[in-house]
Amino acid sequence: MQRTSRLKRELHLLTTEPPPGIMFWQNKNRMDELGAQILGGANTPYDKGVFNLEVVVPERYPFEPPKIRFLTPIYHPNIDSAGRICLDVLRLPPKGAWRPSLNISTLLTSIQLLMSEPNPDDPLMADISSEYKYNKEVFIKNAKQWTEKHASQQKRSEELESSRVAEGNIGVEGTSWLIKSSPCYHRQPHQITWVINLSNSVLTLVRLFTPLLLLGGGSRTHFSDG
């Protein structure tokens, strides 16, 4: 009960006043399964990157911290290949610094800060940590390449659109994801509604006229054969 009421307040706050560069939404209408995006900060190797994260809220929340991991690969000393994050506020005492007074917004902001300021002395990836400490130029080059390969907003949008076209399954869900990927998502809800409505209208027209076009094509074939 406490988790439900607490999450409702947090979701409302995150939706109406999200931290800069952070977006947040519910997955499948389940309050305990949440999605988030962090935009790579300027003047970092992650600039212009869009990083998706998974947030799972345990039953004992807020007395137990949410489990958060990166879904988008990122080249970082404190984030491993499975997306797990080495950050004290994500762990319970005595090894961690989680307190019930903290919230999901605080955690996402802390992760955003960790992206800008890695902690090589408490690494999950020892080789990347060593590179960060002793060969910073190579680290920056590799991190930028990973960001371009895995977190480029344009590339991710194109891949999503291509896969849906191939499957013949372009719909509002895909449009909604692309809209949420935009930095202006949380600031212009009326425009988002307008875009989704427009998308629905276009999809409806396509569905209506496709059978007629196919029928017309069939008629022309019939006459040419005759």
**Of 12, 3, 52, 9, residue with least CA distance to 32:** 3
Cα–Cα distance between 141 and 138 in angstroms, integer?
5
Q: Which of 14, 79, 86, 170 is catalytic?
A: 86
Contact 29, 131 (CB under 8 A): no
Contact 102, 90 (CB under 8 A): no
- Encoding tokens for residue 171? 């719909």
CA–CA dist 60, 166 (Å, integer):
42
Q: 103, 29 in Cβ contact below 8 A?
A: no
> Would you call 86 a catalytic residue per the annotation?
yes
32, containing H or E segment: strand 30-39
Residues designated catalytic: 86
